[in-house]
Structure 1
Amino acid sequence: MNKLLTFFVLIFISISCKTEGGKNNHVLPTSTGNTNKILVVIKGVDWEGRIGDEIRTTFGEHQVGLPQPETLLSVSQIDPVGYKGFIRNAKAVLIVREGEQEKITVEKNKYAQPQILVYATAKDKEGIVNLIRNRGKEILQLFKDEDVKFIQRIFNKEKLDESKFKTIKDLGVTITIPERYNLVEDTGEFLWLRQHLKSGIARGDGSNNILVYSYPLEDEAKVADNITNMRDVIGEKYIPGSKEGMYMITEQAYTPFTYDAEIDGKKAFETRGKWEVKNDFMAGPFINYTIVDKEHNRVIVFEGFTYAPSVNKRDFIFELEAIGKSLTIK
């Protein structure tokens, strides 16, 4: 009887250690690698040739709105024969290979967690070049979206208690902000939080700043065109410089870029540009999400801006992007 019981227990354990697809349900190691960085698995000769050129062109495009040129993603390469052992624990991997069918496929948490593997497959080298050229932006977005989720998961574990902010409560929104942000101003109509960049995902001198406010929706067709003007009004009213007559404005020598977006299932606009302090030398990049809340006849604005002189700022702004995309309207 004991032998029979042992037999059934072993069978149960064996079945329990399988997941869908027959993979072992063992604990995966923690992935390695930072946000906005990917590892490309491709033969060295192809990396130095047209395929590598196309990958570098696509992922090496400069992020708009930054004072210094910085690429959308940082890319490194490894030969397929070297893609083994702990190297396979990389968080974001693009695997380029030849196959019968041209396609892009995604696999998550195969060797580590969190992890995204994107396979770019085509029949020959020319096909791979065309695939990267035609669908490279799609591949890039897959990696960016996973990085946003990665940061948001971290911030969920160290979330600031937003119930203590009058503006958040009065606007009826919720947003995942890490607890290292400190209050600057909270009027009930306007919220300003600041993080000194000494710890966290974004590190360096200076600060990351978050603004949340709203204004009445008058003409939906003019919302996008009014973004710059509205942020200048807010800057003059709430964000002073070191002396009288100084306040934050949109940098006049740089035209911001505005894109269609979606926040919490609602129509929105993403604007990237540069801010400066009028009559002063302070400046930096900003990212702005302007959300059309038709149900409440208003526009809700989340803005993040960075002041970090003499250092790269891509990752600082990306952290603010992840926070902004967590905003929901109750």
Structure 2
Amino acid sequence: MNKLIALCAFIFITISCKTGGKGDYILPTSTGNTNKILVVIKGNDWEGSVGDEIRSVFGEHQVGLPQPETLLSVSQIDPVGFKGFMRNSKAVLVVREGEKEQITVTKNKYARPQILVYATAKNKEGLINLIRNRGKEIIKLFKDEDITFIQNIFKKEKIDESQFETIKNLGITLTIPKRFNMVEDKEGFLWLRQHLKSGIARGDGTNNILVYSYPLEDENNIADNITAVRDTIGKKYIPGSKEGMYMITEQAYTPFVFDAEIDGKKAYETRGKWEVKNDFMAGPFVNYSIIDKENQRVIVFEGFTYAPSVNKRDFIFELEAIGKSLKVK
């Protein structure tokens, strides 16, 4: 009798741990890196015109990088192989034929954190049109999820930003990981640096953060003046190895400027390449110029990378995640 009671208790506890309520099931940790997706699609469709369209849309190059790098790295698996540990992939695009043309999203179905995007259409022609017309929307779904993923990691190792006078005086918060160290913090200008520890960039490569502001005068001219403002900052605060050397926007490469929104405020996202005047150092940057009308100022967050001979997409992506965490108190 006692053995029966003990067995029943064990079964009850086991079931409670797994299904004690909706969403209580303990999911495994997802696998996969940021900016990478697994496409679940039949092999003959992947090798055919549907796969060609997926590779074309998702293989578009990220602007502002010195070497060609795609927006997302893509791998493929046949639906019959999408089981077991393969279902634990962090970012999955399921391409399938169905009655209704649509894009649907499910999160944390097989693992956590996880996003599954289902692209459905009635036939192959419909799938091609769906990927072609709504591909950027699908990419944004994956990118936004990766931004949240990175920010959640950084929250666990967040630096004590109250130590920086510039951040304190600006009245903002940023989710910056402790791996960044201060280079300069004066006159309303903050420069933080992280020494990279992977690949050829180890020891020499760096990720850098700049934070500053300037008065809001003519909102209509902000986008046109971003390059001039950052060049002024570079000349004043970011010197090269010798006199007469300082950081500027690469003169042979016109930056790309996009509309953005940070903390509910209108902003501009600028991607381009920096260089050191009269020197050979260069690399990519991402700049967010945020219009803070209430305080009549433009707050600038910039991240730039120096990592010779290695791909830089993921380094810039981490800086993007930090920049998008900015909030005005």
- TM interval, shorter chain, is over 0.9
- Aligned residue number for residue 169 of structure 1: 168
- Aligned residue number for residue 152 of structure 2: 153
- Aligned residue number for residue 252 of structure 1: 251
Name the CA distance, whole Å, in 1 between partners of 2:52 and 2:202: 31
Q: Give how far 1:153 is off.
A: 0.3
Q: Give how far 1:14 is off.
A: 5.9
Name the CA distance, whole Å, in 1 between partners of 2:307 and 2:173: 27
1:20-99 equivalence runs, <5 A? 20=22, 25-99=24-98
Letter in 1 for 2:141: L
- Aligned residue number for residue 103 of structure 1: 102
Letter in 2 for 1:303: E
Q: TM-score, normalised by structure 2?
A: 0.94
Structure 2 unmatched runs, 5+: none
Letter in 1 for 2:158: K
1:284 aligns with 2:262: no
Name the CA distance, whole Å, in 2 between partners of 1:164 and 1:291: 23
Name the CA distance, whole Å, in 1 between partners of 2:148 and 2:41: 27
Q: Give how far 1:26 is off.
A: 1.9
1:318 aligns with 2:308: no
Distance 1:280 1:203, change over 3 A: closer
Between the two proteins, the alignment pairs up a number of residues equal to 324
Name the CA distance, whole Å, in 2 between partners of 1:26 and 1:281: 54
- Aligned residue number for residue 237 of structure 2: 238
Distance 1:43 1:204, change over 3 A: farther
Distance 1:279 1:62, change over 3 A: same
Name the CA distance, whole Å, in 2 between partners of 1:152 and 1:11: 37
1:143 aligns with 2:145: no
Query: 3-state SS of the aligned residue for 2:145?
Result: helix
Q: Give how far 1:221 is off.
A: 0.5
1:222 aligns with 2:225: no
Does the Cα contact within 8 Å between 1:251 and 1:274 map onto a contact in 2?
A: yes
Name the CA distance, whole Å, in 1 between partners of 2:10 and 2:153: 38
User: CA-to-partner distance for each residue in 1:53-82, whole Å, 9 max, x for gaps?
Assistant: 110011100000000000000000000000
Q: Give how far 1:18 is off.
A: 4.8
Q: Give how far 1:11 is off.
A: 8.2
- Aligned residue number for residue 198 of structure 1: 197
- Aligned residue number for residue 125 of structure 1: 124
Name the CA distance, whole Å, in 2 between partners of 1:18 and 1:162: 40
Letter in 2 for 1:155: F
Letter in 1 for 2:116: L
Name the CA distance, whole Å, in 2 between partners of 1:101 and 1:325: 35
- Aligned residue number for residue 298 of structure 2: 299
Name the CA distance, whole Å, in 1 between partners of 2:54 and 2:103: 14
User: CA-to-partner distance for each residue in 1:243-284, whole Å, 9 max, x for gaps?
Assistant: 000000000000000000000000000000000000000000
Letter in 1 for 2:163: K
Name the CA distance, whole Å, in 2 between partners of 1:130 and 1:15: 46
CA-based RMSD: 2.2
User: CA-to-partner distance for each residue in 1:269-313, whole Å, 9 max, x for gaps?
Assistant: 000000000000000000000000000000000000000011100
Does the Cα contact within 8 Å between 1:204 and 1:308 map onto a contact in 2?
A: no
Q: Give how far 1:27 is off.
A: 1.0
Q: Give how far 1:8 is off.
A: 12
Distance 1:9 1:41, change over 3 A: closer
Name the CA distance, whole Å, in 1 between partners of 2:32 and 2:323: 23
Name the CA distance, whole Å, in 1 between partners of 2:20 and 2:134: 35
User: CA-to-partner distance for each residue in 1:101-147, whole Å, 9 max, x for gaps?
Assistant: 11100011111110000000011111111100110100000000000
Query: 3-state SS of the aligned residue for 1:279?
Result: coil
User: CA-to-partner distance for each residue in 1:28-75, whole Å, 9 max, x for gaps?
Assistant: 111000000000000110001111011001110000000000000000
Query: 3-state SS of the aligned residue for 2:112?
Result: coil
Q: TM-score, normalised by structure 1?
A: 0.93
- Aligned residue number for residue 208 of structure 1: 207
Identity %: 77
